[in-house]
A and B are shown apart, each in its own frame.
Chain A
Amino acid sequence: MEHYQAPLDAAFHALSDSTRRAVINRLMKSPAPVKELAEPFSMGLPAFLKHLRVLEDSGLIATEKAGRIRTCRIRIDRLAEAESWLSRQRALWQASTDRLADYVETQISGKENDD
Chain B
Amino acid sequence: MTTENSELNISRIINASPATVWKAWSRPEHLAKWWIPDPIECKVVKLDLRPGGGFETLMREGGGEFKPHVEACFLDVVPEHRMVWTTTLAEGWQPIESWLALTAIITLEAEGKGTRYSARVLHRSPADSRKHEEMGFQVGWGTTIDQLAAFVQRLE
Q: Give the interface of A toward B (CB within 8 A).
A: 1, 3-5, 7-8, 12, 15-16, 21, 24-25, 28, 78-91, 93-105, 107-109, 112
Q: How far is the CA of A95 from the CA of B102 in the complex (A)?
A: 17
Q: How far is the CA of A1 from the CA of B13 in the complex (A)?
A: 22
Q: How far is the CA of A90 from the CA of B149 in the complex (A)?
A: 14
Interface of A is mostly: helix
**Residues of A with C-beta under 8 A to B16:** 104-105, 108-109, 112
**Residues of B with C-beta under 8 A to A4:** 3-5
Contact (Cβ within 8 A) B15 A103 = no
Q: How far is the CA of A57 from the CA of B4 in the complex (A)?
A: 18
Q: How far is the CA of A9 from the CA of B44 in the complex (A)?
A: 36
Contact (Cβ within 8 A) A104 B24 = yes
Interface of B is mostly: helix
Q: How far is the CA of A28 from the CA of B70 in the complex (A)?
A: 34
- Tell me the count of chain B residues lying within 8 A, CB to CB, of chain A: 48
**Residues of B with C-beta under 8 A to A81:** 1, 4
Contact (Cβ within 8 A) B20 A99 = no
Closest to A3 in B: B3
Q: How far is the CA of A102 from the CA of B21 in the complex (A)?
A: 11
